[in-house]
A and B are shown apart, each in its own frame.
Chain A
Amino acid sequence: MIAFLLALLGVCLLQSAVVPRLAIGGIRPDLFLVLTFGLSLSAGPEVATVVGFLVGLYQDSLSGAPLGLNAFTLSLIGFLVSQMSRQVRTAELTGRLGLLFLAGLVSGLTTLLVLRFFQVSRPWTSTLLWTVLPGTIYTTILGAGFLAMPKPKALRRLGR
């Protein structure tokens, strides 16, 4: 649990202090998504859902998004990734990256849908093309580095 909180804190710091400097054309990678994804790969769906919810809440608190938006999305991502990790060969890096890319797209689409529900609509095509897709690609590329790193024992225990 402490390891998770430390990882969450580290991601909060990185996302708010370092990632803005890595922005390319205003597009930033989403480390909260990478964290949720990384934990969900080895965690059960219940834990992954709760982890996604908590990570999302912190992401909401650090952004201008309404509280619950990212919590909703990442809960869903956590659950789905955890479920799919049993069917996809996530032991290989390419499999994990493919799943991360898919998670990024789902996350973007879900956010768009939720925003539309609350009448905070965005133009679909341009948002998908110029925000969701580049953001997902960037997150996947950056996530490759994080996912290739050996996971600390404490975080691995969290998954069991």
Chain B
Amino acid sequence: MTRLLLRYRRGLILSSTLLLSFVLMTLQVRSQSALADLTKHILLTSVSPFLRIAAVGKAATVTLWNEYIDLRRVRLDNQLLKEETRQLRTQVGELRETALENYRLIGLLELRNRVGSEAVSAKVIGKDATNWFRTILIDRGGNEGIQRHMTVVTAEGLVGRVVDVTALAARVQLITDPESTVGVLIQRSRVAGIAAGNQEGTVQIKYLPLMADVVIGDRVVTSGMGGVFPKGIPLGRVLRSSRPTNGALFQETWVQPLTDFSRLEEVLVLRQSPANDLPWGSGERLP
């Protein structure tokens, strides 16, 4: 019997497994047997913990992968945003610059309307190359009708006068130049003097009588004497004033110019002196 079994073991095993499979199927499909369900349940239970672990592992891997991808994307986005920020900063800088220029030009335009005379706006294209003089170079010259001794102003006040002219440019002597002299008035008390620049780049009023009524903060305007500068252009405010006790005949008065010459970018050249006194604004400095 054993020999018979051994001889036909292959067929027997195959038949047994096929029969068992068939029985299981029949039990489940035909009679909805609990045995088949139980067997399936046991088999599934033996695998399900591993499936769960695999699912958790898979989820973790997917999460990690997605985060890695996100990180790469964020890195790329970051680079793009940095580039965009750089471009936007440049644009903002340019726009701010344009806005400031616009603001200054509006001031000049208003001044031009107020002055009423023929005036030419010009850009400052250069400053004096030495420490001995205080001059600037503007981008308008003889071609635009600029001539020597024409008055140059900003919305804040007096800048100086044209001293050299070429076809395309002109040199302007600032009121702080040591060689510059301007006839001025203390606006409140109407005392006249001469504003002269000096080596330090400030303005001093000369020939003010000792007893003249001068107070710190007094506004100083051009007097119109000498025929170069029109009357009434603000020049500055009295910074300090002293009366020497050494027998001198005049006060020593220093003026703070209203125009900031270190930030000068646009100016207005008055081609003709206005007929009347200039109706200037408050003389406050523009931003």
Answer whether A49 and B43 are a contact pair too, CB < 8 Å, given A67-B24, A68-B23, A69-B21: no
Q: Is the CB of A66 within 8 A of B29?
A: yes
Q: Is the CB of A75 within 8 A of B24?
A: no
Nearest A residue to B53 via CB reads: A13
Q: Is the CB of A72 within 8 A of B25?
A: yes
> Chain B residues near A76 (CB, 8 Å)?
14, 18
Query: Quick check: which of B44-52, B243-251, B254-262 contacts chain A, the rest being far away?
Result: B44-52
| A79 close to chain B: CB less than 8 A | yes
Interface size class of chain B, counting residues whose CB lies under 8 Å from the partner chain: 20 to 34
Interface string of B123-166 (1 = CB under 8 A from A): 00000000000000000000000000000000000000000000
A8 → chain B, closest Cβ, in Å? 9
> Chain A residues near B9 (CB, 8 Å)?
46
Query: How many angstroms from the CA of A114 to the CA of B36 in the assembled complex?
Result: 17
The residue that A17 contacts in the complex, of B14, B21, B22, B55, with Cβ under 8 A, is B55
Query: How many angstroms from the CA of A60 to the CA of B37 in the assembled complex?
Result: 11
> Chain B residues near A57 (CB, 8 Å)?
39, 43
> Chain B residues near A148 (CB, 8 Å)?
none
| B63 close to chain A: CB less than 8 A | no
Query: How many angstroms from the CA of A69 to the CA of B29 in the assembled complex?
Result: 11
| A9 close to chain B: CB less than 8 A | yes
Q: Is the CB of B43 within 8 A of A61?
A: yes
A50 → chain B, closest Cβ, in Å? 7
Q: Is the CB of A13 within 8 A of B25?
A: no
Chain A positions 69-92 with a Cβ under 8 Å from a chain B Cβ: 69, 71-72, 75-76, 79
| B89 close to chain A: CB less than 8 A | no
Q: Is the CB of A53 within 8 A of B55?
A: no
Interface string of B40-76 (1 = CB under 8 A from A): 1001100100110011001000000000000000000
Name, among B23, B26, B28, the residue most crowded by chain A CB atoms within 10 Å (CB to CB): B28
Query: How many angstroms from the CA of A68 to the CA of B43 in the assembled complex?
Result: 12
Interface string of A38-65 (1 = CB under 8 A from B): 0000000110011011001110111000
Q: Is the CB of A69 within 8 A of B50?
A: no
Answer whether A17 and B29 are a contact pair too, CB < 8 Å, given A53-B17, A72-B21: no
Nearest A residue to B35 via CB reads: A67
Query: How many angstroms from the CA of A79 to the CA of B21 in the assembled complex?
Result: 14
Name, among B9, B25, B37, B40, the residue most crowded by chain A CB atoms within 10 Å (CB to CB): B25
Q: List 12 A-B contacts (CB under 8 A).
A: A16-B54, A53-B17, A58-B47, A66-B28, A66-B29, A66-B36, A67-B24, A67-B40, A68-B21, A72-B18, A75-B14, A76-B14
A17-B54, A58-B47, A79-B14 given. 15 additional CB < 8 A pairs? A12-B51, A46-B13, A49-B14, A50-B17, A52-B17, A57-B39, A57-B43, A58-B43, A61-B43, A61-B47, A66-B36, A67-B24, A67-B37, A68-B23, A76-B14
